[in-house]
Amino acid sequence: MGENKRRMLAGEWYLPDDEELGADTERRFALCAAYNANGGAPAGERAKILAELLGSVGEGVRIRPPFQCDFGRYISIGDRTFVNFNAVFLDCAPITIGSDVQIGPNVQLLTPIHELATERRRAGWERAAPVTIGDNVWLGGGVIVCPGVTIGENTVVGAGAVVTKDLPAGVLAVGNPARVIRTLEI
């Protein structure tokens, strides 16, 4: 593993325009294109593509195309999770999704953090922080989960919410930025 990729996975500042990362991107591009083109193919064929694309895929996972990611190999999805149309998972750091998770259409799970200083941003520097989604979470349509966020199990995030900070288990959160409005009965 090259130094730039090591820095990326360690959450340190790295440059994404790198030969090694570019090769990973080409791999992902081909696999996402195959998966998205095979939306009508038998579930077994789509499952094989997902198994090659993603780091780990549990039993009974369903992802409706189109689906996009940065690398794929840093995404882990638990059993029986459903991901609706137009999901974007930018996995420059690990994205861990539990079992029995429901993810609405147009949801974005984002791990990259871009430099704020003008010159470094222009040069392309970024770093990444992991995203973790607990078991039995429901992310409504259009939810955006920002870098470094953990969402506790059994939590529901309302449509269009932008999650900028960790959410505890068993709550309903809505808004931009997402805020807890009540505890859920479990």
Q: Is the peptide bond before 66 cis (omega within 30 degrees of 0)?
A: yes
Instruction: Centre a 10 Å sphere on the Cβ of residue 59 and count the other Cβ atoms it contains.
Output: 10
Helices (H), strands (E): how many in the chain?
4, 19
Confidence of residue 13 (pLDDT cuts 50, 70, 90): very high
Q: Count CA atoms within 13 Å of residue 72 on its CB side.
A: 21
- The per-residue pLDDT of the chain, averaged, comes to 95
> What is the torsional sign of CA 152, 157, 163, 167?
negative
Confidence of residue 41 (pLDDT cuts 50, 70, 90): low
* Geometric angle at alpha carbon 180, from 139 and 70, rounded to 5°: 35
Q: From residue 92, how far is each of 173, 176, 183 by CA, in Å?
A: 26, 24, 32
Catalytic-labelled residue, pool 114, 120, 165, 182: 114
- pLDDT value, residue 40: 65
Distance (Å, whole) CA 32 – CA 39: 11
pLDDT tens, position by position, 72-104: 999 999 999 999 999 999 999 999 999 999 999
Global pTM value? 0.95
Using DSSP's 3-state secondary structure scheme, residue 162 falls into: strand
Two tokens at 68?
A: 């996009």
In the beta sheet, which residues pair with residue 14? 126
Structural domain of residue 166, as residue ranges?
3-183
Q: From residue 76, how far is each of 40, 53, 79 by CA, in Å?
A: 24, 11, 10
Closest CA to 135 of 80, 67, 69: 80
CATH number of the domain to which 60 belongs: 2.160.10.10
pLDDT tens, position by position, 103-141: 999 999 999 999 999 999 999 999 999 999 999 999 999
Q: Does the active-site annotation cover 168?
A: no
Q: How many domains does the structure of the chain reveal?
A: 1
The answer to whether 116 and 94 are in contact (CB under 8 A) is: no
- Amino acid letter, residue 103: I
Confidence of residue 18 (pLDDT cuts 50, 70, 90): confident
